[in-house]
């Protein structure tokens, strides 16, 4: 989870623009801070050859995870991916992890060990070292706080603020799968769906991927303008890019990358799969921009990688806001709704 | 709170040696990690001129703080000091802070702002920059997670493992004041105590000091063998030094530094003030060792500073365990009890 981003999950946290203001007031100028609050991670100019990324994330039972529908391994895995994904969105390499946990009396040691096992499994491909943490009691509910650091070459990190009018908008992977998987978990009456499709959607919810390699490739090729990871959902996270870059954006509904499983799920539920893709959270795909003049080169080079990139729209003038193109001539404003974890009415 | 230390506050967290084992199993060798889990902070060899310290701490309502007896400013202040104190125990300089918070529906934005204000007030003397965080909802209870980084010169950090037989044991400040302050807060019938004494003890509980300058001075003079900060209480934290250094220790009961207020409190309650000093937690003083051969030099140089250091005992052979000297000839084993926050019976 990016520093300073508030999840709109309570009357209080929705007012956290106020806290950001307070933070800004209390901050003194610090020459080592290249980017503080307001991006996927902070960027610290810690040496002349390497800058440090750092992000922290606090996950609460019944808000971000539910042991009734997720195994402890999966809860740990997803929590680690949420942080790895923030490093991916900067184009960085993850390095060190710290895990603090508050444990209610209802949790067993075996459950907590499974949680750690899931976290370490998610982090294992990246040679991330667990270097610290804290364990404490909780009167009620399990709380999990992960801090992850990473590194990036000086001035190379992908910022939210790098989008310019005319840039093309891209995403990795497919969208909406995690939301569809979560909806499946929470349904009393599951829709008729092929077992393989159901398995795919549940896996995408429980075991998402952090797009570390894609982020690093974008940095290396110097082809991306701005980037963010999709934790709040496409609409919500695109809004962050637009705010930080002072631009608008237009998404082409028919261009949104959808998995066959998500399409089948939407059909079974008589929903518009594109709506799930627009609003569903926690896909942990990357959303990024490519300047118009670099698009041909990007497409050519991307074709040689095994990565899955899809152009889903473009950056427009700020005054046009966020719009959705549904036909050849029809655009409409994108509603401001965003993914709200478990507290979201469903 | 040091990485990997478990607060003995629940049946689960008391078994967290198991988690430490799991962490050790899943860790791969990492040349940049000078010290991972098992000290006050992790130590990372991030550059040839400067090493990075990092620590994280998760504080839970009704376990570590109680809004019924502490203001939100004080809760924030104390939380920041707990982390600053971990950097102090390494002899480091604090640098960057991240704050993640899970907010229950019962908390107002104004209260959360006061919490932040308290944190920033504690951090202000050290030019610490708040560079990130996360806000989220909590179904029940306020949870606060702070991550703090610091820096230290390569190979200069004070470790828990540096104590040797014959070393002298020292502490900063006075001990037991925070515990006495907490007891005052929680008493239905307050003992007869001068208002100045009561104010002093409450201030020591609500607004403890992080001994940053003392830690840095010890590093600069190269006079300390091992160090730790007193969060669990003298007995509990001395045990950590003894475990990490594979030594025993003897404390001289009559040498324990006691404030007049703590003495007055103990007298009013018919308690032994030395017992409060031995077991009371959250003083955030430093406990450190000075090799016998350096003691004279230490005493001479320390006398020129404004710092308050007291020799309270010495390091002994491991087989002797932890002992308390109460008379000229009498020693007894120190009980294993440690400070257990609010869940401790009182």
- Residue B94 pLDDT > 80, yes or no? yes
The secondary structure of residue B257, as a DSSP letter, is -
What is residue A34's three-state secondary structure? strand
Question: What backbone torsions phi and psi does residue A161 show, to the nearest 5 degrees?
Answer: -90, 10
The whole-model pTM stands at 0.91
What is residue B224's three-state secondary structure? coil
- B173-181 mean pLDDT: 97
- Nearest residue on chain A to B112, alpha-carbon basis: A19
CA distance A51 to B96: 14
**Is B44 within 8 Å of A96 when comparing Cβ atoms?**
yes
Q: Which residues is B251 bridged to in the sheet?
A: B313, B324
Taking alpha carbons only, the member of B19, B63, B52, B51 closest to residue B38 is B19
Contact, A210 vs A84, CB < 8 A?
yes
Check if A154 contacts B (Cβ < 8 Å). Answer: no
Taking alpha carbons only, the member of A34, A64, A4, A48 closest to residue A340 is A64
Of A44, A46, A130, the CB nearest to B27: A130
Check if B66 contacts A (Cβ < 8 Å). Answer: no
Place of tokens 């529908």: A69
Alpha helices (runs of H) in A90-165, residue ranges in sequence order: 109-123
Check if A135 contacts B (Cβ < 8 Å). Answer: yes
Place of tokens 């261009």: A255
Contact, A305 vs A217, CB < 8 A?
yes
Average pLDDT, chain B: 89
Distances (CA, A) of B204 to B74, B104, B247, B282: 11, 28, 31, 9
What are the DSSP E strand ranges found in chain B? 5-6, 33-35, 42-44, 51-60, 93-103, 129-137, 143-152, 168-172, 227-229, 248-252, 286-290, 309-316, 322-325, 331-333
Same topology between domain A13-152 and domain A160-343 = no
Place of tokens 């929590």: A79
**Is B57 within 8 Å of A27 when comparing Cβ atoms?**
no
**Is A141 within 8 Å of B138 when comparing Cβ atoms?**
yes
Q: Which residues is A150 bridged to in the sheet?
A: A53, A94
Contact, B168 vs A72, CB < 8 A?
no
Check if B344 contacts A (Cβ < 8 Å). Answer: no
Helix (H) and strand (E) counts for chain A? 10, 14
To the nearest whole Å, the CA of A146 is away from the closest chain B CA by: 9
Question: Which token pair is B295?
Answer: 């003691």
- B44-70 mean pLDDT: 94
Q: Strands B93-103 and B227-229: what pairing?
A: unpaired
pLDDT band at residue B238, thresholds of 50, 70 and 90? very high
pLDDT band at residue B345, thresholds of 50, 70 and 90? very low
**Is A139 within 8 Å of B136 when comparing Cβ atoms?**
no
Annotate B265-322 with DSSP letters as a single string: HHHHHT--HHHHHHH------EEEEE-GGGHHHHHHHHTTSS--EEEEEEEE-GGG-E
Check if B342 contacts A (Cβ < 8 Å). Answer: no
Q: What is the pLDDT of residue A45?
A: 95
Q: Which residues contact B35 (CB under 8 A, 6 or more apart)?
A: B42, B43, B157, B159
Superfamily of domain A160-343: PurM-like C-terminal domain (3.90.650.10)
Contact, A140 vs A50, CB < 8 A?
no
pLDDT band at residue B305, thresholds of 50, 70 and 90? very high
Place of tokens 């014959």: B166
To the nearest whole Å, the CA of B249 is away from the closest chain A CA by: 26
What is residue A139's three-state secondary structure? coil
Multiple choice CATH, B13-152, 3.40.50.720, 3.50.50.60, 3.30.1330.10, 3.30.300.30 = 3.30.1330.10
Check if A336 contacts B (Cβ < 8 Å). Answer: no
Q: What is the pLDDT of residue A28?
A: 63
Q: What is the pLDDT of residues B252-289, one digit of tens each?
A: 999 999 999 999 999 999 999 999 999 999 999 999 99
B267-278 burial code (b ≥16 CB/10 A, e <16):
eebebebbbbbb
CA distance B263 to A227: 60
Check if A149 contacts B (Cβ < 8 Å). Answer: yes
- Nearest residue on chain B to A121, alpha-carbon basis: B26
Question: Which token pair is B253?
Answer: 């009961």
pLDDT band at residue B128, thresholds of 50, 70 and 90? very high
- B201-214 mean pLDDT: 97
Q: What is the pLDDT of residue A20?
A: 63
CB < 8 Å to B149, chain A = 54
ipTM, two decimals: 0.89
- Residue B62 pLDDT > 80, yes or no? yes
CA distance A310 to A199: 24
CA distance A115 to A107: 11
- B87-116 mean pLDDT: 95
Check if B137 contacts A (Cβ < 8 Å). Answer: yes
**Is A140 within 8 Å of B141 when comparing Cβ atoms?**
yes
Taking alpha carbons only, the member of B164, B167, B154, B212 closest to residue B35 is B154
Return left, alpha or beta for B275; rule: phi > 0 is left, psi -120 to 50 is alpha, else beta: alpha
**Is A137 within 8 Å of B60 when comparing Cβ atoms?**
yes
Check if A107 contacts B (Cβ < 8 Å). Answer: yes
Q: Where are the domains of chain A?
A: 13-152, 160-343
**Is B26 within 8 Å of A130 when comparing Cβ atoms?**
yes
Q: What is the pLDDT of residue B240?
A: 93
- Nearest residue on chain A to B107, alpha-carbon basis: A12
Q: What is the pLDDT of residues A261-308, one digit of tens each?
A: 999 999 999 999 999 999 999 999 999 999 999 999 999 999 999 999
To the nearest whole Å, the CA of B47 is away from the closest chain A CA by: 7
Q: Is the dihedral of CA A97, A120, B60, A64 positive or negative?
A: positive
CB < 8 Å to A141, chain B = 138-141
CA distance A308 to A257: 10
> How many residues appear in chain A?
346
pLDDT along chain A (346 residues), means of 10: 40 51 64 88 93 95 92 97 97 96 93 93 93 91 97 94 97 98 90 94 97 98 96 94 96 97 96 95 97 96 96 98 89 71 36
Q: Is the dihedral of CA A209, A215, A217, A223 positive or negative?
A: positive
Of A5-14, B26-35, B37-46, B85-94, the least confident: A5-14
Contact, B19 vs A135, CB < 8 A?
yes
pLDDT band at residue B337, thresholds of 50, 70 and 90? low
CB < 8 Å to B57, chain A = 100, 134
**Is A1 within 8 Å of B134 when comparing Cβ atoms?**
yes
- HSE, side-chain direction, 13 A CA sphere, residue B117: 11
**Is A139 within 8 Å of B63 when comparing Cβ atoms?**
yes
Give the relative orientation of helices A195-206 and A72-89 as an angle to the nearest 10 degrees.
70
Distances (CA, A) of A61 to B167, B274, B283: 47, 42, 32
Question: What backbone torsions phi and psi does residue A258 show, to the nearest 5 degrees?
Answer: -120, 135
**Is B44 within 8 Å of A131 when comparing Cβ atoms?**
yes
Q: Report chain A's terminal Cα–Cα distance, integer Å.
A: 23
> How many residues appear in chain B?
346
What is residue B18's three-state secondary structure? helix
Of B16, B108, B132, the CB nearest to A54: B132
């Amino acid at each position: 989870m990016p520093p300073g981003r508030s999840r709109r999950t309570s009357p209080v946290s929705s007012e956290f623009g106020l806290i950001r203001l307070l933070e800004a007031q209390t901050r003194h100028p610090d020459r080592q801070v290249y980017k503080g609050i307001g991006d996927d991670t902070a960027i610290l100019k810690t040496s002349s050859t390497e800058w440090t990324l750092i992000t922290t994330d606090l996950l609460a039972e019944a808000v971000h995870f539910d042991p009734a529908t997720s195994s402890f391994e999966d809860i740990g895995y997803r929590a680690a991916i949420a942080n790895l994904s923030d490093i991916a969105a900067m184009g960085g390499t993850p390095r060190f992890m710290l895990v603090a946990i508050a444990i209610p009396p209802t949790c067993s040691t075996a459950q907590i060990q499974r949680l750690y096992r899931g976290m370490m499994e998610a982090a294992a491909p990246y040679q991330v070292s667990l270097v610290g943490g804290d364990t404490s009691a909780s009167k009620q509910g399990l709380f999990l706080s992960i801090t992850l650091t990473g590194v990036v070459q000086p001035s190379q990190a992908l910022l939210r603020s790098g989008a310019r009018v005319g840039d093309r908008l891209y995403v990795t992977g497919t969208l909406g799968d995690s939301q569809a998987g979560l909806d499946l978990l929470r349904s009393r009456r599951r829709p008729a769906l092929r077992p393989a499709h159901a398995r795919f959607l549940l896996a995408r919810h429980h075991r998402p991927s952090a797009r570390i390699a894609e982020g690093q490739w974008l940095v290396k090729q110097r082809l991306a303008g701005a980037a963010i990871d999709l934790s709040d959902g496409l609409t919500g996270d695109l809004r962050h890019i637009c705010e930080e870059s002072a631009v608008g954006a237009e998404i082409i509904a028919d261009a949104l990358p959808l998995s066959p499983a998500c399409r089948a799920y939407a059909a079974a539920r008589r929903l518009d799969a594109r709506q799930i893709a627009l609003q569903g959270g926690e896909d942990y795909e990357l959303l990024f921009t490519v300047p118009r003049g670099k698009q041909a080169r990007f497409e050519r080079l991307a074709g040689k990688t095994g990565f899955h990139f899809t152009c889903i729209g473009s950056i427009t003038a700020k005054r046009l806001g966020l719009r959705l193109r549904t036909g050849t001539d029809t655009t409409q404003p994108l509603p401001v709704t965003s993914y709200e974890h478990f507290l979201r009415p469903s």
